[in-house]
Amino acid sequence: INVRIAWQIPGSNFSPLTNFEVLILSKSGTMLQSPDCLAANPASTYCDVPMSNLRVGGFLLTQGDIVRAKVRARNAIGWGDFS
């Protein structure tokens, strides 16, 4: 079972997007980077995270928990704001 984190591609300010960063809210309330989303294609609008990865480490989410995430994009100018 996967959790799909989806977003709309933001404006790039005339500089191609190079990657996205996805942070997921852990059970303790801390935002943790999702290693499953590090290589998200800059043309992509989603990242699939295996539920098993959200049940270990700092995440400790359980079936039925709401998964909260925020995403930001990067281009040659730098990182944009998180959604």
For position 10, what pLDDT does the model report? 77
Rounded Cα gap, residues 56 and 75, in angstroms = 31
User: Per-residue pLDDT tens for 54-80?
Assistant: 888 888 888 788 889 999 888 898 988
For position 35, what pLDDT does the model report? 80
For position 39, what pLDDT does the model report? 63
Rounded Cα gap, residues 17 and 15, in angstroms = 6
For position 69, what pLDDT does the model report? 92
Cβ atoms < 10 Å from Cβ of 34: 21
For position 40, what pLDDT does the model report? 65
8 Å CB contact between 61 and 55? yes
User: Per-residue pLDDT tens for 26-59?
Assistant: 888 888 888 878 766 777 788 888 888 888 888 8
